Each structure stands twice: as C-alpha cells, then as structure tokens.
Chains A and B, each alone.
Chain A
Amino acid sequence: MRRWLWPSILLALLIAYPLVLSTPFQQRLGALVLLYAITASAWNIVGGYAGQVSVGHVVFFGCGAYAAMGAYTHFGLSPLVGIPAGILLAVAIAALIGVPTLRLSGHYFSMATIAVAELVRLIVTNTTYLGAAVGLSGPTVPRSVFDLSFISSLPYYYLFLAILAITLLITWWMTNSRMGFYLRAIRDSERAARSLGAPASRTKLYAFMLSAGLTSVPGALYAMMFGFVDPESGLGILISVKILIMAALGGAGLLFGPLVGAAILVPLEEISNSRFGGNGAGLTFVVYGAIIVLIARFQPGGILTLLNRLWARWKKPAAAKAPQQGAAHAP
C-alpha cells in the first residue's frame, strides 16, 4: 500500500488546486500544466522508456487537433467525434515513420521525425481543405455540452486531470508488462536484448505507436479549449520542443517526470510571456535552449533523478550511522 501513498497525495493536491487557487488565471495555468503534462507523458513512452528521441511529436498532436476541428468544420459533428479518428491517424503515421527508421540507429529516427513534422506542416499549410495558413475553427457558440466549449477553465482542468491519470495508468501498466521489460533491456543495450531474443524493432515500434496515439488526444483537447487550430499552434516545431524539454527536465523514463517538468516550465513561460510580451517568446526559448543544454551536459536523468539521488544520499548516512552507533554500544 505504501507505493500508492505518494500518488494518492499528489492526486489529492491536484484535485484541490483549482479550488484553493481559484482565480481564472490560476485555473487556466493549472489546466495548461496538465495539458502539457499529458503530452509530455505520452512522449515519455517512446522518448523516455524506449530511448528513441522523437523530435517531431507535434505531428501526432496536430493529428488530434485537426481531426477534432475537422469533425466540426466539415461534418458539423462534435469535436469529440474527431478524437478516435485523430488517434487512428497518429498511429498510422507513427507506423509509417517507425517501420523503416527504428531498425536504424537512433539518430535516423530523430532526423526522420523532424522531417515528417516539417513535411506535414508544409503540406497542411498549402491544403485549403485543412484551412491552409488560417487553420480550422471550432464552434463559436457551443451547441451542447458535447462541443466541450466552456468559458471557465475549471471543466477543462478536471477533464485534463482525468486524461492525465489515464495516460499515466497506461504508462504504468506498460512498464510492468512484458513490453516494459523488453524496453528497459533494449534501452540498456539493444544488442544484448536482441541476442536474448527480445524483439527490439517491434517493441520500439509498438511503443512509438502507443505514444503517438496518446499524444493525439491532448492535441484534440488543446484545439477544443482554444477553439481553433492553425499550422503554428497545431504543427509548429516549437511544440515538439516544449514536449521534449518538459519530459527531459522532469526526468525522461520516469512516470512523474513529465508532470514535474510541465509544472516548472509552463508557469515560467506564461509569466515570461505576460511580462515581456512578444519579445518574451524569443527570450523564453533562449532559456529553454540553455536548460536543455545544461540537462544534457550535467544531468541527463532530469530533476527527479537528481532528487532521488539526493534523497538516497540523505538517507544513507543516517542508515549507515545507526548500525555504527549500535556497534559502538554493543560491547
């Protein structure tokens, strides 16, 4: 039961947050933190657990966003209907990228994901059916609750919290399944894992497809919350960057790493944007770049790994001291 203690406390805190800090700004900030936490947690499955660094994950985010808005614009349906379509599309694209590149060294995979993201962005920008550079909009006036268009951020907050919980549960279940063990073995040494019979390429591909499908859901939610999607907000490379850095800062390959990263970076960005205006956007990404470089250089495991190590060091002297004192008193 002990291992459920901390997640339960965390969940209670997250449920209480928008009720305690209840200004519209704080509630919106909370909702955004959760949204990015969902996205980064989904990335974490392939980037953290499988160790395959996707730099074009925004393409799956965009699948969800465009499917949701497309369902409304072209078929007059609730954006919710677009979610399954977005998931299928994302999984199909992931298979298309993953099959050839996951057999090669990890660099090819990263380069291919960048190229696919840019390719899709360029194609969408030049496709009138998908709104070209202007993008697609959702319903301006909600027709029913199923349009998921609310003025307050509070409904979004709890919706996102539920989706985050589901995403983390799927991740947790995956790490404890056969697939999770394969992934850990592959990440440590692909050659060793292969020689012991772990189907490396196939396992990485499944992880990528799972991650892609899960990433499209927050894309759809994002589009519903903001009421529109355009190539920049739905397919821009900077969203890939944010996803990547949040997971890496918190701790890639750790269940709660992306949530920690999002909880640090989203407020940072919102504050810098509101403080410095348009110029802040440039400065924010200078800081982001610096943070990524520093993580890579000094602490590739992220903040949670650092905290775990400090925690262990803090506990160890105490544990080591106790028997010594005992020994001193023994004779």
Chain B
Amino acid sequence: MSFVLVQVIVGGLLLGAVYALFSSGLTLVWGMMNIVNFAHGDFVMLGMYVAFMVFTLFGAGPLVGAPLATIVLATLGVVVYFGLIRSIMKGPMLAQILGTFGLALLLRYSVFWWFGANFLSLPQNIVGGTYAVFGLRIEASRLLAGVVALLVTLGLHLLLTRTSLGSKMLAVAEDATAAQLMGIRPDTMQAIAWAIAAGATGLAGALIATFFYIVPTVGETLGIVAFVTVSLGGFGSVPGALVAGLLIGVIESLSAYLIGAVYKDIVVYALFLSFLWFRPQGLMGKS
C-alpha cells in the first residue's frame, strides 16, 4: 500500500472519531425517545462558534474552548428538551420533524445574521505544529480531536452500559411507564440524555473547529453525516456509531483523495441512500 494512502486513511480515522462522537449523541436521543434531532448538525456548528468566540475574546485554545462548548451546548440541550421536545414528543410526526427542523433554521440563521456568511477559521498552530509519527505527518489539532473524541465516545458507551445512571436511562428507553413505577423519573433521564447528546456535539464542534472551516451552514452537511453514521451503525447503538463514524471518515478521505474533494459528500450521501435500500437496520442491527 502506498504511503500516501496510509496517511489518508489515518486522517480519515481521526476525523471519523469526531463524527462518531457527535453521532453517538444523535443515536442516544433517537434510541431513547424515538425522536430525530434535525438540528443536531447545527448544535455541532454552535460548538464550533463557541470555540471561535473563546479564541477571539480570550485568545484561548481548545483547552478552554472545548469544556466551555460542552457546558454551553449541554445547557442548550436541557433548555431545548424542556422547552420544545417534551411537548412535541407526544404530538404527531409532523410536529416532531417540524419542531427540530425549525430549531435548526433558527440556530443556523441566527448565527448567519450575527457573524455573516464568511468562512472563519482558527489559527493553524493553535494546538501545535505537525508531528511525525512513524514517518506519518499528523497535525496536532487533528490528533487531539481524534484521540479525545475516541476516548469520550468509549467513555459514553461505558457510562450507558456500566453505571446505574446508564441502566436507568436504558430502562426509560425500554418502557418509560415501567421505569416510573420503579422510581425512575423519565423526565430527568430524558433531560440528561439531551444534555449528554448536546454536550457531545459541543465538544465535537470545539474539537473540529481547530482545523475545519467555520461557517453557519456547516451544520447541514454535518447533520447529514450524523444521519448516515446513525443509520449505518443501527439506531440507538453507540458502538455502532463509533464503527460507522470511523468508516465514514475513511471513506470520505479516500474518495476525496482518489476521485476529488467535491465528490466526497456525493459518495457519502449515495452510500446512505443505498443503505436505506438494502440494509435499513444498519451494519450491526438485527433484521
């Protein structure tokens, strides 16, 4: 295998880990409440802008920006849950899709209105320069983003499967009424799920802001990436999202390298549609 190809694959894996991180938030909410958050990509976009603001106001890098973006977005997640989701959850399908779709527009164009449509970016060496690892040249910002995203996604999986909080959340996902009879508050658990899901997008946004272009409409593309990841990984499954996210990162990088950068989104969307045709339950789901 050519050396450049390895470089491209590693780059794809690092970006794919970030995809996995924010997609696991979408899959968590979908699996638990059977609601698809169409504003999910725009949450990531907000995380990017928080990181950008932290840099322009305080001159601080992702060490400050990432935790702050996580907190800001987690708070937003709770507000959105109590303000919107809780009431549209019981409503018709139209209300569910309209609600989160409208939220996406509201966030996207508020940012557009405030910051303008210009492409923004953080300084290239905000994390550090470029390192040579085993002869591969890797930017420190991408390495940091990939590693942190991977660890947090794994941590999220452990939280859901190994702790009592995770068990309570799964209980609510399974049967909210039964969980309530066992003394678990579905409302609290669902609010926590929204906080986690939105917090994950904030963290992911702040992490990719160090090397991605920052623009109000980036949420649209990232939102579709999250849909693709979730449908590939099987809905509700964090490990599925992890594998699918890494896979999509690699496929994107490879197609950008082999066919051309403009075609990478085309390849991913086409992959998504072919999956809906042939395997809607995802790679790991049972039919």
Chain A interfacial positions (CB closer than 8 Å to B) = 47-48, 51, 53, 55, 97, 100-101, 104-108, 110-112, 114-116, 118-119, 122-123, 126, 237, 241, 244-245, 248, 252, 279, 282-286, 288-297, 300
Contact = CB atoms under 8 A, between A and B. Distances in A.
A294 B270 CA distance: 34
B109 A293 contact: no
B227 interface: yes
A289 B105 contact: yes
Interface in B73-128: 83-84, 87-88, 91-99, 101-110, 112-113, 117
B266 A53 contact: no
Interface of B: 30, 34, 36, 38, 83-84, 87-88, 91-99, 101-110, 112-113, 117, 220, 224, 227-228, 231, 262-263, 265-266, 269-270, 272-273, 276-277, 280
A282 B110 CA distance: 7
B93 A283 contact: no
A100 B227 contact: no
B95 A296 contact: yes
Contacts of B110: 286, 289
B4 to A, nearest CB: 24
Contacts of A107: 30, 36, 97
Contacts of B270: 119
A296 B113 contact: no
Nearest to B91: A300
Contact of A297 (B87, B263, B269): B87
Contact of B113 (A55, A245, A282, A295): A282
B113 A279 contact: yes
18 contacts: A48-B94, A53-B93, A110-B97, A111-B224, A112-B273, A115-B273, A126-B263, A241-B101, A282-B109, A283-B109, A284-B109, A285-B105, A285-B109, A289-B105, A289-B110, A292-B106, A293-B103, A296-B94
Given A51-B94, A100-B277, A297-B88, A289 B109 contact: yes
A300 B94 contact: yes
Given A112-B272, A116-B273, A286-B106, 11 more contacts: A55-B97, A108-B231, A108-B276, A110-B38, A115-B269, A119-B273, A126-B263, A245-B102, A292-B105, A296-B98, A296-B102
B91 A296 contact: yes
B207 to A, nearest CB: 24
Please classify the interface of chain B as helix (H, G, I), strand (E, B), loop, or mixed, using the class held by over half of its residues: helix
Nearest to B263: A126
A126 B261 CA distance: 12
B98 A53 contact: yes
A3 B94 CA distance: 28
A119 B266 contact: yes
Q: Quick one: which of A108, A119, A244, A252 has the most chain B CB within 10 A?
A: A119
A97 B272 CA distance: 12
Given A100-B277, A289-B106, A111 B36 contact: yes
A284 to B, nearest CB: 8
A291 B99 CA distance: 10
A122 B98 contact: no
Given A100-B276, A108-B276, A244 B106 contact: no
A115 B276 CA distance: 11
A292 B276 contact: no
Contacts of A97: 273
Contacts of B106: 286, 289-290, 292-293
Contacts of A111: 36, 224, 227, 231
Contacts of B34: 105
Contacts of B95: 295-297, 300
B98 A300 contact: yes
A10 B87 CA distance: 36
Q: Quick one: which of B87, B113, B265 has the most chain A CB within 10 A?
A: B113
Nearest to A293: B102
Nearest to A249: B98
Nearest to B85: A297
B99 A296 contact: yes
A51 B92 contact: yes
8 closest cross-chain pairs (CB), A and B: A292-B102, A289-B106, A289-B105, A296-B99, A300-B95, A285-B109, A293-B102, A282-B113
A248 B98 contact: yes
B263 to A, nearest CB: 7
A126 B266 CA distance: 10
Contacts of B108: 285, 289
Contacts of A55: 38, 97, 101
Contacts of A296: 84, 88, 91, 94-96, 98-99, 102
